A and B are shown apart, each in its own frame.
Chain A
Amino acid sequence: MKFRLLAGLALLCLARTLSAQSFVNDTIQEVVITATGTNHLLKDAPVQTEVITSKMLRNYSGRSIEEILGGLAASFAFSEDDMGSHLQMNGLGNSYILILIDGKRIHGDVGGENDLSLIDPQNIEKIEIVKGASSALYGSDAIAGVINIITRKHRNEGLLLENSTRYGSYNDIRQHNAIGLNFGKLSSLTNFQLQHSDGWQNTATEYTTGTEPPIYDSANKTVNRHTNAQLAQQFTWKPKKDLELYAGGSIYGKRIYRPCGKYARFDVHTYDLQYRNASASMGGKLALEGNDYVSFDLDWNRHAYMYYFTATTLVEDYEKSKGTIYYPYYPYLPDQTELQSDQQRTMANLKGVFSLPGGNLLNTGGEFRYDWLNAPTRVEGQKVADWTGAIYAQDEWKREFGKGNLIYLAGGVRFNLNRQFGFSFTPKFSAMLGLGKPWRIRATWSEGFKTPTPKELHYRYVKQMGGTWLYLGNLSLRPQTSDYFSLSGEYTLRSLMVTVTGYYNSVKDMITLVTIPNYQAPAEYIIQYDPIKTRQYQNVEDARTKGVDFNIRYSFKEFATSLGYSWLDTDANQYDSGHDRMHQVIIDGTAHHKGTFSLTWNHRFSPVYALGTGLHGRMSSMRYYQDNGNGKGYQIWRLTTSHDFGSFKKTTLRAEAGIDNIFNYVDRAPHGLHLGTTTPGRTFYVSMSVRFSQGKKFGKIKSNITDSNKQSNEDN
């Protein structure tokens, strides 16, 4: 803690010496941790890190993490549906992106898609994005990159009460509540978040082919009605100055409502989707000499996914208690649930950061992870388990030379022991060259890996989605591995920051669902569900993404502008089992050109009122898919306003209002075809935040020291 405090104070002093607390300066003075697991000023981080700052988040006022990332970072793409957000970063999907919340892995997925509603959009302090493989530090999944969601911390208030309510078109409700208490050495923080939308329908037309009669009055929605809520509690205890211990937990529930129409083949649904999550965690951090520290964390997470039946539903081949009771048919009645999968994970982490002689900083640690999956209807044998143990070490070495020049090297390696695959070894090397104050050149070579998930190894289930599909796991899967190379240049001068990054990511033994001929599938399924198509998880031989990300940020007086552009090209060699030969394809969802733009103006009219306005744009060229059409290119513009009302003694008030998709762009491709974007067209939102705080140290949020907007609010 001592280290953090000193670092914080140092940064504060540094920040205060800058002539203008500009938008750009806010960004480069951010302290980032994700790339190396050690704290760095963004401009001096040895690995290129992209930060969505607190100020950007507040200016943008996104309703969800999907909207925030999609609107503020050009390399992201989404296509939300019932099965998830279908997040892509630089061409690779959610399965290859590690999402962390305060440095801890998000847990639970459906088909490789994390449930991003677990992230409360109104409780995000900032988002750090490190592109490319980071498996040496984080282990499995960090192939396309790492997104670290840093939540807001409230450790210094005697009493904190906070409520944010955002209301928008389609009954979109986002609510965030926090209660924080500090009793001497013990503090407590309770968070509650609620998210709801009625969903929307962009088209009532179904995609029908050949002699199928057309359908123009489908009940299927583009995005279905959904509600989720989360309650989280954390206690922190500081028994000594240099020791902090915590324990906490959370519960979460989500339901996706599926409307039911009259076309049995298209829009009749007899069940909704439901999620139940829970987590418990404990850990601590011991400050050592200087900036050194040791931390440990123990986490347990559960993610259960179930069908919630809305009409009487018969299932075939029902087995209960591992085959002891068998029914050829089994009826579920309305309001009953059927568990589809229950993923539980226990992780133990030990980490130490130590300063070594000669300008070295060592970050080392170990991790043990145990995964347990219960999927009665989807896994052969119903329950499976997997474990991985790992140790890692990373050294950073920094030396200054000449006048204001700097060289910074970071190298790390991880040894893994996995139940399925035995030992593996993953390295990462990064280098940064600082030439004077404005120039930073960074290069990275890193390997990534992803162990096959229990699902990929063991799944076996049938799903209705535009026809009947049989999904099969594969016990002979190998871990996926990747090589990532990037070279980036950064130029910063007062109010201008320009970064250009070129990258090449080569993923080998990539696991994906491949349509296989029915004769390779278990015949009993083919007969029972015919007509059916079969997909199996396979190590497709390789896939490559290459691209250039360009960012420019500039601020002038009260104006700030940023422009992001991402060029991407992908190709994958998929094994075509029907022909025993390779088949070259573009990765599904690839758009060659994506961009973001924003222009903001902030002005304080009086001590009691400050106005912020913003114009934000996001655009994408056509998204390419192998089947069911390509997603159309689009551009969407958003107008935001924020209104800060200050000068109440213990209470701060903030209101926001805006229009998203000003020009009312809607992709009305029929259901069953891919959309470029699922936006419902022009929407409106208003939000109100009230914050009451009493007690010592109110108003200092450490990682936010240069955020002038927040600072001015909280100083009021």
Chain B
Amino acid sequence: MKTIKSLAIAMMALLMAASCSDINPGNNYAVYQDAVNKTVKKEKKSDKVILLVAFGSTWQQAFDAFDETVAAYKSKFSGYDVFLSYSSAICINRAAAGENAADGAEVRNYYAPPFWLNAFAQKGVQYKEIVVQSLQVIPGEEYTRVINYIKDFANNANGDISDEYLSKVVLKLGVPLLQDEEKDVKDVAKALNDLYKNQASKDVVAFMGHGNPDSYDTYKANVRYTQLEEALQALSPNYFVGTVDMMENFKTHVYERMVAAGLNTGSKKVYLHPLMSIDGDHGHNDMAGDDLPEKFEGKSYTIADLLAEANDEGEVEDCSWKVFFGAKGSGFVCDNSTMIEKGLLELTSIRQIWINHTQDAINGEPLDYYHSKNPE
């Protein structure tokens, strides 16, 4: 009865309470920002800082890759503090909560870039130099968000940063992995070939990038995947680069190119490799998962059956790359043994190219975003 009584009282209180808490947006911001401020204050060792910006992931493999990346940056840039942020709120929430938080261990507060930048500008911290490094692969839509965070910060969008500080702070931006269509593309192709030339010498290696949907290919950054494939094929004709979102470059198109190259001999393996900073949902599911269109489950099917399911854009949805390339009649061998489950940040030589971009940014001219929300 005691339990019942207390439950009843609790429920009555719940019922009687106001229907919705009246939240003061400013106060929430202050509380949240304060947590970020404290983290930065506590960990500040230098007067220069590097902020790495990734989309985010909730995979343990991704957490580990990010940890290694931060360690590598700390070792390379000894005069800089290094922090890593996520731009995905869902990933931030899930990484920070749960048993990890309850146990006081492994709390992963990635925070969103604007909070980090504000924390860098707080009184008592005020880094003299802030380097923002994009961990994106192509200079596409996600990268524009990174630029906008810096613009908002430089223009004091929230009006809570000292203008005097903003006029003095040196802001720098490290570009994505494939920013430069010649040098970066060539460097990445070389690094990948050094790693996978053995596989490519007799079999096929296909990289799965993300890409932007057609309507959001604002900066025409998708072309980098095509350029990378060309650069790789200059080293070996057995390399291919496809995406999950770029028009005309889905797995079906990659397959067409493989067939056109006469590689579907029946004996060649197709090695699959994510072309993303980390190996997360896309790598484990879209690439190496077991997704197969429902109508074929438990039945035998061929690559022709799968291709007949292609949508208007030529993509076979709900079908992983592994299942697709490994389908009967594809002319290839593709199964769990040909999955290369590694994100690009896990490849030291590729990570080095990002690090080089950071070094270039440090060596280069500071950004001039102050009082210019939309610079050329």
Contact = CB atoms under 8 A, between A and B. Distances in A.
Nearest to B94: A264
A315 B112 CA distance: 11
Nearest to B35: A312
Interface in B138-158: 141-142, 149, 152
Interface string A325-350: 10111111101110100000000000
A209 B290 contact: yes
B317 interface: yes
B346 to A, nearest CB: 15
Interface in A611-664: 626-627
A231 B216 contact: no
Interface stretch (B22-30, B45-53, B223-231, B363-371): B22-30
A253 B290 contact: no
Contacts of B251: none
B93 A329 contact: no
Contact of B20 (A339, A468, A527): A339
Given A264-B95, A306-B20, A314-B112, A229 B141 contact: no
Contact of B100 (A262, A339, A530): A262
Interface string A258-278: 001111110111100000100
A212 B3 CA distance: 42
Interface residues of A, number: 72
Q: How large is the interface on B (under 10, 10 to 19, 20 to 34, 35 or more residues)?
A: 35 or more
B81 interface: no
A175 B8 CA distance: 9
A539 interface: no
A578 B311 contact: yes
A605 interface: no
A336 B22 CA distance: 9
A629 to B, nearest CB: 10
Nearest to B63: A264
A251 interface: yes
B209 to A, nearest CB: 13
A327 B25 contact: yes
A336 B23 contact: yes
A213 B60 CA distance: 10
A518 interface: yes
A264 B289 contact: no
A580 interface: yes
A229 B12 contact: yes
Nearest to B212: A527
A227 B212 contact: no
Given A332-B28, A333-B31, A336-B21, A227 B98 contact: no
B25 A337 contact: no
B10 interface: yes
A373 B102 CA distance: 37
A320 interface: yes
Contact of B216 (A268, A527, A580): A527
B285 A209 contact: yes
Interface string A231-262: 10000000000000000000111010000111
B153 to A, nearest CB: 12
A294 interface: no
Q: Which of B21, B88, B216, B313 has the most CB of A within 10 A?
A: B21
A35 interface: no
Given A252-B15, A260-B98, A210 B212 contact: no
B22 to A, nearest CB: 10
A253 B89 contact: no
A595 B223 CA distance: 60
B25 A330 contact: yes
Interface in B47-86: 58-60
Contacts of B245: 518, 526, 530
B213 A329 contact: no
Nearest to B210: A530
B360 interface: no
Contacts of A524: 216
A194 interface: yes
A267 B98 contact: yes
A194 B21 contact: no
Contacts of B152: 328
B14 interface: yes
Nearest to A212: B284
A260 B102 contact: yes
Interface in B89-104: 89-102
Nearest to A306: B20
Nearest to B29: A331
Contacts of B4: 165, 173, 175, 194
Interface string A282-299: 000000000000000000
B175 to A, nearest CB: 19
Contact of A311 (B14, B35, B93, B213): B93
B284 A210 contact: yes
A393 to B, nearest CB: 40
Contact of A210 (B215, B289, B315): B289
Interface in A519-576: 519, 523-524, 526-527, 529-531
B322 interface: yes
A160 interface: no
B114 A227 contact: no
A623 to B, nearest CB: 16
Contacts of B311: 517, 578-579
Contacts of A339: 20
Contacts of B21: 335-337
B25 A260 contact: no
Contact of B94 (A173, A268, A304): A268
B94 A265 contact: yes
A210 B114 contact: no
A210 B98 contact: no
A270 B15 contact: no
Interface string B210-239: 101111100000000000000000000000
A600 to B, nearest CB: 29
B290 A580 contact: no
Nearest to A625: B294
B94 A627 contact: no
B317 A517 contact: yes
A262 B96 CA distance: 10
A464 B90 contact: yes
A265 B312 contact: no
Q: Which of A171, A196, A227, A265 has the most CB of B within 10 A?
A: A265
Contacts of A261: 98-99
A192 B5 CA distance: 13
Nearest to A177: B8
B291 interface: yes
Interface in B267-301: 281-282, 284-286, 288-291, 294
A211 B336 contact: yes
B203 interface: no
B290 A251 contact: no
A313 interface: yes
Contact of A337 (B8, B20, B291): B20
B142 A527 contact: yes
Contacts of B7: 173, 194, 196, 227, 229
14 contacts: A210-B291, A211-B289, A227-B7, A260-B99, A312-B97, A314-B32, A314-B89, A314-B92, A325-B25, A468-B90, A518-B213, A526-B216, A529-B90, A580-B312
Interface of B: 1, 3-4, 7-8, 10-12, 14-15, 19-21, 23, 25, 28-29, 31-32, 35, 58-60, 88-102, 112, 114-115, 141-142, 149, 152, 210, 212-216, 244-245, 281-282, 284-286, 288-291, 294, 309, 311-313, 315, 317, 320, 322, 336, 339, 341
10 closest Cβ pairs, A-B complex: A229-B11, A264-B58, A210-B289, A331-B32, A262-B99, A268-B98, A578-B311, A264-B94, A311-B97, A314-B89
Given A310-B97, A314-B89, A578-B309, 20 more contacts: A173-B3, A210-B288, A211-B284, A211-B289, A211-B336, A211-B339, A213-B60, A229-B11, A229-B12, A255-B14, A262-B99, A262-B100, A304-B20, A329-B115, A336-B21, A517-B317, A523-B213, A527-B141, A578-B312, A579-B311
